[in-house]
Amino acid sequence: MHDLGKIAVNDSILRKPGRFTPEEYNEMKKHAEEGARIVREILTDTDDEDFRRIAENVAHYHHERVDGLGYPDKLKGDEIPLEARIMAIADVYDALVSKRVYKERYSFEEADRIIIDGMGTQFDPCLRKHYEAARPKLEAYYAGSQPESRPV
C-alpha cells in the first residue's frame, strides 16, 4: 500500500535495470504524493478517520528521513508521522533483502548493518530497539520467501 502511487509512474522507469537519471528519479519521487492522493480518494467515505489518516501518511511520507533529506516534503524527525517512520525501515529492509531488476539481494547481515548505520540519519533511532526485536522474525519470513528456499 505504501507504494500504491507507483501505478502512476511509467513502467519504463519502474523496470529500469540501472540507476535513474535525475529526471527519472524526480518522476519516481512523485509516487509518494500520488499514493497519498489515491488513498485519500479510496478512503474518502470511511468512518474510520484514524485508519484513513494513517494509511495516507504511510503512502505520503515513507521516503522522508529523520535528518530532513528525504522526500516529498523534507520533513525532519518527529515532523514525520510515526507510522511513516516505521514504514521507512520496513520498506528499506524489504528492498535490501529482496532481488530487484537493478540489484541482487543483500544478506541479512548486510541489510542489518545498513539499517543500523542509518539510525539517526535516514531512520528514527528511537525505533532501533523495535527493529532489533523484530529482526529474527523478519529474517525467518524472508528466508522462507526466497525462491531457492521454496520446494519446486
Please tell me the distance from the alpha carbon of residue 87 to that of residue 113, in angstroms, as a whole number.
18
Catalytic site includes residue 29: no
Catalytic residue among 6, 16, 29, 76: 6
| Dist. CA 87–CA 32, nearest whole Å | 12
The number of beta carbons lying within 10 Å of the beta carbon of residue 10 is: 11
Going from the C-alpha of 48 to that of each of 37, 55, 84, 120, the distances in angstroms are 17, 11, 18, 33
In the structure grid, which three cell numbers stand for residue 106, read together? 543483500
Give the cell for residue 135: 529482526
Asked whether the beta carbons of 20 and 28 are under 8 A apart, the reply is yes
Q: How far is CA 117 from CA 112, 128, 133, in A?
A: 8, 10, 17
Which residues are known to be catalytic?
Answer: 6
